[in-house]
Structure 1
Amino acid sequence: MIPDLLAGQEIKTKTAFNEAAAKLAILKAGPEKVDVLVNLGTYYLNLPGEVKTDLNTALRYQAQGFALANQIRYSQGIAKALILQADITRESGDKPGSEKIYNQAIGYAGKHHLVNELARAYAAKGQLYGNEGIDLDQKIKYNKQALKLYRQAGNRLEEGNSLNNLGDYYNIKGQAAYAITLMDSSLLAYKAVDFKELQGVYNNLCIANNSLGNLAQALKYGLLAEKTAEQLGDTTLQRSSINNHLGLTYFYLRNDPKALEYWTEAEKIAEKYKDPNYILTIVANITTALVRMKRFEEGTSILIKTIKKFPPQDVQMKLRIPYILFNAYYDIRAYAKAEPYYQQLLKFHHDLPKDDPNQIYLYRSIIKKMVHEKQYSAVMVYLREHEKQSLEQKNILALSQLYRLWYHVDSAQNKPWEAIAHYKSFKRLSDSIANSEKTKQMAGLEIEYQTEKKNKDIALLSQKNQLQQVRIESDERTRSLFIGGLVVVMLFAGLIYNRYRLKKKSNLILEQKQKEINEQNELLRKILGEKEWLLREIHHRVKNNLQIVISLLNTQSAYLDNDDALIAIRNSQNRMHAMSLIHQKLYQSDNLAEIDMDWYIKELVDYMVECFSTDRKIQFELHTESIRLDVAQAVPLGLILNEAISNTIKYAFPDGMKGKVLISLLMKDENDCELRIADNGVGLPAGFDADSSDSLGMSLMTGLTLQLNGEIDMWNEDGLILNIRFKKHSELSPETVNQINN
């Protein structure tokens, strides 16, 4: 039995995808089918990488869902499909196109009061913007709108997602304390709906607490993120982020080996998912640890090698690379090599806004260089700006490092009291970061986490031991069964060999018969080819003979003075040309049995217009479908068309009158064809009776209609309308064959 899929439920695994695809095959047209189609499209959109075929498949599911939602007037489905289309367009790199579709989705959801879909559209539109400057402000703005709407709808799960995202964005903006407040609210919303996948919000809390220097809290949430991810079997790129920030926490705690351990694992995951930004971020972190461990050459070489392979794309990474290399070269007193990187940092300092969170790194580098060059007066401005920004961000770690630098500046300027004050501030903050209570708390966290891991390992080993014992017992039973089975196999071997000989003999007989069949088939193919050639040649000869007769009649007309005889010859020529066209098309076509009447009518009309020179006087309008008729029906229909068009040209528009003729040949039902020739001419004379008419053309059309087993009607309506209905031959019936032969 296939499990039910909740509307809007995200498909994250291949198993869930297979279940959804199986359910799709049995679902009837309705809202649930639309939701499943949208979910399948979202699955392909979220697959790792930006593979074009995945995006095309996602778009195919989206189009099916959108079409069905429109068909059944399912407004929520229409909004969901529009948002998915915008997401796919954004992923393909078309930002203007995706923004247009997001606005369409926002307008539609707002008009139909779809609060959840409107919130989803705002949040998704925020993804169009980056994580820097004005872009980040726009992203925050749209996510705030989404949060407000999710709260209005009472959607606690999406409220938790929005709060978590906003926390992440405010942390990037440099407001880590506010970010933590948002993430705490996010946890409350998640727990209210018993949401288990909390590793993302724990990871964000680890990042924010690291920014503030709350290393005990950072370690707590980092370990919680790792533990939750392991329990849920999370193998996504998020594991790389968790390991990366746990490594950063251990780096701040000056436990470089532990930091390297986590970063190495984070790099493996990032390489598996081929994410260049993550790879570059983690390698930059590894470099800082290696440089601090005095493995300078190793650290700088892997960073420079990675930069060449994955050039930095965002401002933060473009700034961070020269920051790491400048400080690395300065630490080993290679000042000349450090200078180009310092100039890059100085340019960033002038280009970035004063309140940009990245200015802290720039201030630190500028202060370091100025202190080395003894520019004590000039450095005071940067010390104060660094202090101001660190206090605004409540970044204890940055403040601690700043006051240590300030202490050295005061000491160099012979300001003992200021030096003591700044040293006290440095000690107070550094002790706050690494006080004994926090150290115990962190040690306890690590012990608790490691103990839990060891207990799991012990349970796993016990399970493996039991499995090993079962395997040994199974091997013994297998050995006994094998000996008994060997005897049985030997008995069967003789029987199988005997069967093999019989089968081989049968195969030889079958091969001989197959050879005979192949020879017969080849002979039949040759006969068929010859018959097709002969039939094509017959059509060619018939066409040529008709053309010869037309030419003979044309020659004969040169010796006649009687107008009635000339008209009769001209009419006969037109009728023969109508039949000639059919045979010409048949011998030129691959299909020797049927003719395309759409092509035929166009060719016949062009010929008649040319013959009567009516191209300026009478306009012909054709509405014909590509209907294929066999010769038995094509010939009489062609002659009917010839007679009807001739009569229209001759009699419908007297005295140079201009007019219009509409010719249509359409399928009305499965096999019902309707030929209609309508003009806006003078129409039939009053009292005209088709049945008692002695007109040859009218008699021909009536007789040919009977040959088609059809019905003919004509009436005046703003001119004359001639209507013929008949059934198309679905196959060559015996009657049809007789008609062709005759």
Structure 2
Amino acid sequence: MKTFSFFPKICLLLFVTGLLTYFKANAKVLTLAQADSLKRVLKGKVTPVNQVNTLLLLSEYYLLRNGELQSDLDSASTLAEDATRMSVINNLHPEYVKSLYLRGCILLEKGLRKEGKLLIRKAYGFAKLYNLPEQKGDFFEKEGHLIEQDEYHIKQKIKYYRKAILYFAQANAYDKEAPARQMLGDLLIIDNQKDQALKELNAALVAFQKAKIPDTQGVYKLMASIYIQMGKYDKALENSISAVKTAEYLKDSSLQMSSIYNTTALVYYYLKQEKPAVDYWEKALVIAKKYQEKSYIQMISGNIITAKARINDYKGALKDLIFFEKKYAKDLSAEMIGRIPYLYLNIYIGLREFDKAQQHYQKVWDIFSTLTPEQAYYKFYLNSITRYLVETHQYKKAYPLLLDYEKIAIQEKNYLYLSLAYQNIYKADSALGRLQEAIEHLKLYKVASDSLLNIEKAKQLINLQVKFETEQKDKNIQILQQKTEIQNSIIQNERVLKVNIIAGAVILLLLLVISVSRYRLKQKVNLQLEKKQAEINQQNDLLKKLLNEKEWLLREIHHRVKNNLQVVISLLNAQSAHLNNQDAIVAIQKSQQRMQAISLIHQKLYQTDGLSTIDMRWYIAELISYVKEYSNFKQKITMDYVLDDVTLDVSQAVPVGLILNEVINNAIKYAFPNQSNGVIRICLQLDEQNFVHLGVRDNGIGLPDDFLQHTSESLGVNLIYGLAEQIDGNVEITSDHGVKVKIVFPLHKELVNV
């Protein structure tokens, strides 16, 4: 093949049609100029520029074709040389420089590095001579690509890509600027310039949009990785889901999907959402196995084992780890060789098998001793070492390491690591007798835990999918329209060829008119539907926002009330440890019990969907369990209860809980003085008139003969009457073979109407 003009036209049309089919089958995105060049050739509008661009496109096709066949490189070289000759004949400067670059890349692919670099530098000389900014950018992009990607050359590599982007932006070559900015963002991540990397990746998204290229999943994945490192998991999750959605929409089946799923899983893992994390890791593992990428397979398998250990499935994690180690014993990567002792150590700590953990601890310590705080695995090994030392009561040795771990967590603003650090420091302080420091670190642990799993982030996790789809709606429509346009263009071009062969130009024209007419009609209908859908979505978004705000506020109130009560209980407990007066200690303990009765209600409220009502069957069972545990009574006392399905709101549930706490504790304390077997029976029923009957009865010694119900000076009795009055209840206390307390009160009208 000497020149383009020697191609028989029918052979060229068939070849180009086949090429378009190949691009379609392999989801390769053509630039607008390339697609236009091919369409013009198919329509017979073959100008010299179109001829040269088509030759360049065909040459690039053979160069990038799967496999490394010499025949493909020879075909690519012949086509590129024809493009060079035609560019010279027709005085086409940009196309001439492009052909030189392409020929240089072909030589590099053949292994002729010296000749290839010389030809690329020659192309750059002509690009400067003819003042072609896009072609200048091509040179720096190719030079940057050829530089080694290691710590000694990373700065120079970044410098070349910045120059390339500058020229691509000057030429409005968005199809080249976009991937160059994506590559620059990746390099900046490696060079630990996270803020600059985010800036470049955001600019890459804009360039991809201007170039009308939808393949942005790689950009979103890189942004998610940066936000993971910065500890901004809400933004990391948003970007990782964008990467997944974009890739799945474009049916990306490359190895990149494994990396995208892995990154998404990591975000969920750091947010303590283990189930979706494992689901995404399993997807990533399927793709890694498909491409037989051993490094990916080993890394993801290790991540799944770590997640199982996190949810306390230590036996399952140990089984998987043993199988994994046997299967890949001969092919373990350097990373996994160091990671396996770390996994065994964490699993055996979880299983409380410290004798087996000890040998792996020594291996982990030996590896840890060679690391510096700047290295990625330093904090993971440090966490496992401190965890082992705390669990084996080596608190003095653990303490300085824990402070080091705290420092790293604060620097990274990582609340997961920070909560783990404060939890272990609190244990160490308690064991070493540093009570004041223990209380302070316990408070810090709760703050870190709240910051990691606060209600706002929980709401984000639940609604992020809906939010993402709403925010990305316009973008998805644009992507769909673009893909539809490309597919329709390919279909139309294929029809042109068939019609030219079978029926001629007249039938082709008719088909084109019909296709355009149907397309316009479809566009009008779609536009109307989109407007209606936008109105509906706007109303739904407003309602969701109002509802979510209300639920968030109520849940936050219950959460804070519960936490504050727990802090007060802890403070009272700490205070009682320093008291010698038995009456004061008993009074504090009673106060703690009453606060716990209230705390259980608020705990249930913020953990469930119902934010104002309590299931009393659950609550009474929990309260009895707490009283048993706290009282630690030695008598053989049986707790028996008959409970209807009764639901109370907070204003009634709190007094009922306090009444039950008083009555049950009094029965345990006074009803059975002779260590005899005793029974305390609790009954809760709702009658047809919506009156609640609450009864507590014991078979103990009963009340003294001179007991006066209404004049008793007992705080407990007065408290019972006072609380019953709050719920408009009637109290009846009788003594007959034991004490029976019965309270009848009306159910709130709001609950009656539900």
- Normalising by structure 1, report the TM-score: 0.49
**TM-score, normalised via structure 2 length:** 0.49
